[in-house]
A and B are shown apart, each in its own frame.
Chain A
Amino acid sequence: MNNDPVDSQLIQRIKENPKYKELVAKRAGFAWFLSIIMLVIYYAFIVLVAFMPKSLGTKISPDSVISVGIPLGVLIIVMAFILTGIYVSRANGQFDELTRQIKEETK
């Protein structure tokens, strides 16, 4: 019941539309780029936790008790939020505009 009969000619037309190719390439590139940034940030943190836990305990300044791990942890959380914001603003703007044009042209 999920496989609605999608018009195969329509699919063909969309696939051959240069803007569709542009959309797929741009979106996939951007999505994977941001995913890799997130993965690198997170697993770099995990590797620090696993192999060099002491390094995260270094104080941010000699007269402070706060360790670098605390602002770093908060920064990772904030980064995650910022990355989603970057993706959403581009996808809801540029990518959706391309999608709209593709739909218009392949009607």
Chain B
Amino acid sequence: MMRLSGTLLAALLGFWSSVGWAADAAKPESSLNMTAIIMFFIFVAVTLGITYWAASQTKTTKDFYAAGGGITGFQNGLAIAGDYMSAASFLGISAMVFAKGYDGLIYSIGFLVGWPVILFLMAEQLRNLGRYTFADIVSFRLSRVPIRTLSAMGTLFTVILYLIAQMVGAGQLIRTLFGLPYEYAVVSVGALMILYVAFGGMIATTWVQIIKAVLLLTGATFIALSALNHTGFDIELFFRTALESIKSSGLADHKKAVAENKDIFAPGGLVTDPVSAISLGLALMFGTAGLPHILMRFFTVPNAKEARKSVFYATGFIGYFYILTFIIGFGAVMMVAPNPQYIDAAKGTLMGGNNMAAIHLAHATGGDLFLGFISAVAFATILAVVSGLTLAGASAVSHDIFANAIRGGRVDERTEVRVSKFAALGIGMIAIYLGIQFEKQNVAFMVGLAFAIAASANFPILFLSIHWKNLTTRGAVVGGTLGLVTTVVMVVLSKTVWVDVLGNKTALFPYKDPAIFSMTLAFLGCWVFSKLDNSPQAAAERALFEAQSVRCESGIGAAGAAKH
């Protein structure tokens, strides 16, 4: 393992020294690149230091998967926020507000409202029943092999799709910000996340996420305050100025909005029909409750009390962050859109694409230094999210598939941790490979697909196993598989993939978001096939529900914090 780390480190340093060279070669932007690169190096140095320390603390499976169960509610709240607030939310949502106005807020709200529901119906149950992965909870009373396999599939699908989207986004962002070739950027991100996860496990991942959350919240607060300061904190004047600025904007989207006399402070064309609106709402709300890397965070706290506190703090941080992205989006309309310096006139977008709205606003309000800081924060944001994803994927492979489904739970801790480290390496390699393969593809649909799978495959079986006595293995397997397969098929046949990616003329499935259909099918499948299941095994599974709910409600028998 040490040799492996040496090789990775050498590769990483090699890449970064060539970056420095590339930055010098690209003279015009080298000054701003240097600020960003220095700040980024500080972040990498600190996090690698933490990883080194975390590696010495990581001895057992509990340390590796759950940071020994000793994270406090407040720390975990920050880490959840760090895990959840991806660069896609920071850059993507502020860009959506920037380009489309109010529609961006619809997404923000959808991404947030899943949290209270997680708290009310799942957080403490997760903590009291589970140990390392959400499959622990489902297999509390259901049959180990099929359930573990199904849950691991749901996890890996979600994780890989989400990872590809993050990797491609990272490559493009870093190419724009640092002037670094796309492949180098993807390999650097991949190498760092493998180092964090394989050596530092959950302890390192948690601290990377905490640091990133603090950096991102600080940075976003500064951008938003500077934008508000531009109109002397007069909110009315702020929106009025934004409305005026749009008329002199060089952006194609804005010109269109002005020509069509669109109200940017009302819902626009993003959500076109009621079915799509409700379907999107379902995927956003319940997808959050089925994201494996998020669910995993609930096992890092010592008890149900801290699990609840985690969600309270996380909801506060995430909600505050989404309000900031809304201000940043309109701040960019006001200060970035009318400034030709930021506009790529030929394309009718911002320089580097509309996703750069928040980045350009940082420059408009705080100059090169602040731009450098925000660029480094955006990079840190990506690293924290991909690390959480890689760890979740690795634990599905080592804990669910290897230790439980294959070895039937009879495996010593050292072997399991070692398998997990190699799984992290494997998933990292796959992510790097796919990240490079998908460079030229439109990957925007992948996060949506990951949420839809989480909502239609992971969430139904997890939710029903906690709250519905009659769920049986057969019902869960049929329902979960149905949810997974229908989501993928419907998304592939929809306009987002069938037309936009595969280049066909018309979509075979009319809606962009499948959740309303796939979630319904998953729940129906679980219900019908559980009800029809009269096998002795089903009876035994139902009988176990009482023991499960006692543990669920009281926490008696739940795994506690590690003693060290």
Bound Cα distance from A66 to B243, whole angstroms: 10
Whether A84 and B115, one on each chain, are in contact in the complex, defined by CB atoms closer than 8 angstroms, is yes
* Bound CA–CA A28/B322 (angstroms): 30
For A10, list chain B residues within 8 Å (CB). 556
- Count of A-B contacts judged by CB separation below 8 Å: 171
Closest to A23 in B: B553
Contacts of B109 in A (CB 8 A): 42, 45, 73, 76-77
Report how far A64 CA is from B112 CA in the complex, Å.
Answer: 28
- By beta carbon, the residue of chain B nearest A53 is B267
Contacts A42-B109, A50-B277 hold; do A31 and B239 have CB atoms under 8 A apart?
Answer: no
Contact indicator A50/B319 (Cβ below 8 Å) = no
Task: Output the least CB separation between B394 and chain A (Å).
Answer: 18
Name B275's closest neighbour in chain A (CB-CB). A50
Q: Which residue of B lies closest to A49 (CB)?
A: B267
When distances are taken between beta carbons in the complex, the residues of chain A under 8 Å from B319 are 77-78, 80-81
List, in ascending order, chain A residues with CB within 8 A of B404's CB: 1
When distances are taken between beta carbons in the complex, the residues of chain A under 8 Å from B555 are: 99
Question: Does the CB pair A88–B308 fall under 8 Å?
Answer: yes
Q: For the complex, what is the distance from the CA of A88 to the CA of B239, rounded to whole Å?
A: 36
Chain A residues positioned under 8 Å from B554 (CB to CB)? 14, 20, 23, 99, 102-103
Scan B263-294; emit 1 where CB is below 8 A from any A CB, else 0. Answer: 10111100101101110010001000000000
In the bound complex, what is the Cα–Cα distance between A67 and B240 (angstroms)?
Answer: 11
Given contacts A14-B556, A65-B239, A102-B554, A34 and B273 within 8 Å (CB-CB): no
Kindly list chain B residues whose C-beta atoms are within 8 Å of the C-beta of A32. Answer: 120-121
In the bound complex, residues from chain B placing their C-beta under 8 Å from that of A15 are: 546, 550
Most chain B beta-carbon neighbours within 10 Å: one of A27, A38, A80, A83: A80
Known contacts A56-B267, A77-B319, A85-B312; A11 and B409 CB within 8 A of each other: no
CB-CB under 8 A from B120, the residues of chain A are 31-32, 34-35, 38, 87
The answer to whether A87 touches B281, judged by C-beta atoms less than 8 angstroms apart, is no
Given contacts A35-B117, A92-B308, contact A77 B551 (CB under 8 A): no
Knowing A67-B263, A84-B312 touch, does A14 contact B115 (C-beta < 8 A)? no
**Cβ-based interface call for B1 (8 A):** no
Q: Which residues of B contact A83 (CB under 8 A)?
A: 116
A92 to B130, CA, bound (A): 20
Complex CA distance for A47 and B280, rounded to whole angstroms: 12
Q: Is A84's CB under 8 angstroms from B311's CB? A: yes
What is the predominant secondary structure among interface residues of chain A facing chain B?
Answer: helix
Residue B260 interfacial (CB < 8 Å): no
Docked-complex contact B309 and A66, CB < 8 angstroms: no
Q: Assess whether B139 is interfacial by the CB under 8 Å rule.
A: yes
B266 touches A1 (CB 8 A): no
B217 within 8 A of A: no
B105 touches A43 (CB 8 A): no
The answer to whether A35 touches B116 (Cβ under 8 A) is yes
For residue A77, which residues in chain B have a CB less than 8 angstroms away from its CB? 108-109, 112, 319, 322-323
Contact B263–A24 (Cβ < 8 Å): no
Q: Which residues of B contact A85 (CB under 8 A)?
A: 312
Flag A4-39 by CB within 8 Å of B: 1 or 0 each.
101010110011000010011001000110110011
Of the residues A6, A66, A78, contact of B265 by C-beta under 8 Å: A66
A88 to B308, CA, bound (A): 6
- Distance A76 CA – B284 CA, assembled complex (angstroms): 15
- Closest chain B residue to A48 by CB distance? B267
Query: What is the interface size of chain A, counting residues whose CB is below 8 A from a CB of the partner?
Result: 57
- B43 adjacent to chain A (CB < 8 Å): no
Is B113's CB under 8 angstroms from A24's CB? no
Question: Are the C-beta atoms of A67 and B265 separated by less than 8 Å?
Answer: yes
B100 contacts chain A at the CB level, 8 A cutoff: no
Contacting pair A51 B274 (CB below 8 A): yes
Cβ–Cβ contact B116 & A80, under 8 A? yes
The answer to whether A2 and B139 touch (CB under 8 A), given A42-B109, A53-B266, is: yes
Given contact pairs A2-B139, A53-B268, A54-B266, A88 touches B312 in the complex (Cβ within 8 A): yes
Neighbouring B residues of A46 by C-beta, 8 Å: 277-278, 281
Residues of A within 8 A of B274 (CB): 47, 50-51
Could you tell me the distance in whole angstroms from the C-beta of B468 to the nearest C-beta in chain A? 13
Interchain CA distance A43-B322 in the complex, whole Å: 19
Q: Name the residue on B nearest A58 (C-beta).
A: B266
- Per the bound structure, the CA–CA distance linking A81 and B235 in Å amounts to 23
Closest residue to B242 on the A side, CB-wise? A65
B83 at the interface (CB under 8 A from A): no
Task: Point out which of B121, B551, B554 has the most chain A C-beta atoms below 10 A from its C-beta.
Answer: B554
- A62 CB to nearest B CB, Å: 13
Residues of B within 8 A of A66 (CB): 235-236, 239, 265
Complexed CA–CA distance, A69 and B239 (Å): 13
Contact, CB under 8 Å: A74 / B116 = no
- Nearest Cβ distance between residue B275 and chain A, in whole angstroms? 8
Within the complex, the shortest CB–CB distance from B130 to chain A, in Å, comes to: 8
A88 touches B309 (CB 8 A): yes
Q: Is the CB of B553 within 8 A of A27?
A: yes
Contacts A34-B120, A65-B239 given; 17 further ones with Cβ under 8 A? A1-B404, A20-B550, A23-B553, A24-B549, A32-B120, A41-B113, A43-B278, A56-B266, A56-B267, A65-B236, A65-B243, A67-B265, A77-B108, A77-B112, A77-B322, A78-B319, A84-B316
Return 29 A-B CB contacts under 8 Å, by A number.
Answer: A1-B409, A10-B556, A20-B553, A27-B553, A35-B120, A38-B117, A39-B117, A46-B277, A47-B277, A49-B277, A50-B274, A54-B266, A56-B102, A57-B263, A67-B263, A70-B105, A80-B116, A81-B315, A83-B116, A84-B119, A84-B315, A84-B316, A87-B116, A87-B120, A87-B308, A88-B308, A88-B309, A92-B305, A99-B553
